[in-house]
A and B are shown apart, each in its own frame.
Chain A
């Protein structure tokens, strides 16, 4: 079974620029998650999709972050404009049910 794919692996941008991350979940996994992991902290859930629909985006800074999941498969997370405090690892995960969550390797974003 292929894992959760994320790209790019690393990204360095200047503040106020925009950036997008891509995630391809495991085939058949209806639920997709985006987490933000700031250095030294635990992952924080930004947004959760169930198929195409958003079921939780309560911690997504909606003035600058947006996410979509096309056709219930791939997903993109965008930041526009980026701030210094957005520097973090962005993790994508998928699950079929509560039995198993699979995480991607993450995208490490540095905002300078």
Chain B
């Protein structure tokens, strides 16, 4: 069965420190990978996506992610976080041949402290 796992439910970090949010997926077919951010009481905003090509993907707000096919991972990173990065982050996967169905992980709460 196809699934998405976000390994950390919460990640506390100090301002200006680096951060990594982890995402693993399970699939026997090709995948397309996404990271979304959700601020309190707001909708989902696309941070970045991997469809094909370079495995290092850069997104908005200084975030980047790397697709690792052998480890079936798509971890999100930022070298220096700000207070304003405090939000819920969702990894999502679409599987080839699945009518573009988008499956989400449970989310990781990033809390940036001063």
Measured between beta carbons, the chain B residues less than 8 angstroms from A48 are 99, 101
- Distance A99 CA – B94 CA, assembled complex (angstroms): 10
User: Is A55 touching B44 in the complex (CB atoms < 8 A)?
Assistant: no
Asked whether A91 and B101 contact (CB < 8 A) given A42-B90, A98-B51, the answer is: no
- The count of chain A contact residues (Cβ–Cβ below 8 Å) is 24
Q: Which of B11-19, B58-66, B77-85, B104-112 contacts A (4 or more CB under 8 A)?
A: B104-112
Measured between beta carbons, the chain B residues less than 8 angstroms from A103 are 43-44
User: Is A43 touching B104 in the complex (CB atoms < 8 A)?
Assistant: yes
Mostly, the A contact residues are strand
B56 within 8 A of A: no
A106 within 8 A of B: yes
Contact of A99 among B51, B90, B101, B106 (CB under 8 A): B51
- The count of chain B contact residues (Cβ–Cβ below 8 Å) is 19
User: Is B51 touching A56 in the complex (CB atoms < 8 A)?
Assistant: no
Asked whether A95 and B100 contact (CB < 8 A) given A41-B106, A42-B105, A43-B90, the answer is: yes
Determine how close the nearest CB of chain A comes to the CB of B105; give it in whole angstroms.
Answer: 5
Measured between beta carbons, the chain A residues less than 8 angstroms from B32 are 98
Measured between beta carbons, the chain B residues less than 8 angstroms from A35 are 104
Residue on B with the closest CB to A106?
A: B43
Determine how close the nearest CB of chain B comes to the CB of A59; give it in whole angstroms.
Answer: 10
A104 within 8 A of B: yes
A45 within 8 A of B: yes
User: Is B43 touching A45 in the complex (CB atoms < 8 A)?
Assistant: no
Listed A/B pairs (11) with beta-carbon separation below 8 Å: A31-B100, A33-B101, A42-B106, A55-B99, A56-B101, A93-B102, A95-B100, A97-B100, A98-B94, A103-B43, A104-B43
The 6 A-B pairs with the shortest beta carbon distances in the complex, nearest first, are: A42-B104, A103-B44, A55-B99, A105-B43, A42-B106, A43-B104
